[in-house]
Amino acid sequence: MIRFSNVQGEVFIDDRRRDDRLMARDGLALDPGGDYLVATTQSSSADVQAYGRMIRLERFSYARLSVARVLEGRHNEFWLAPMTKIFLAKLWALAGGRI
């Protein structure tokens, strides 16, 4: 189970398998079989419980969550609403690519 808590601000979830984008909110649960990129912006943060561990995503952070791997990292991309697709594309490149 992948569950979100303490979500503050805009926290993006990009689902590679369904080609879908969501905004995280407290209590949101995701299918554990998915392949997700979770990204925070310059003014957001969240806690993610995934695959038996707690991941704290501070400002300018991302996490790729899949059954095969969990990858955490930091980025320096500023998010602007009209540039959301470009923002997520750059973070997918940091997280190992979007196949």
Of 4-8, 16-20, 81-85, the range with the lowest mean pLDDT is 16-20
HSE on the CB side for 41, CA within 13 Å? 19
What's the pLDDT score for residue 84?
Answer: 92
Average pLDDT over residues 75-87: 94
Q: What is the pLDDT of residues 17-31, one digit of tens each?
A: 887 899 999 999 999
**Position 97 pLDDT exceeds 80:** no
Q: Decide which of 96 and 56 is more confident.
A: 56
Structure tokens at 96: 């190992």
- Residue 1 near residue 29 (C-beta atoms within 8 A): yes
pLDDT attached to residue 30: 94
Q: Where are the domains of the chain?
A: 2-94
pLDDT value of position 98 = 59
* Tens-digit pLDDT profile for residues 38-51: 999 999 999 999 99
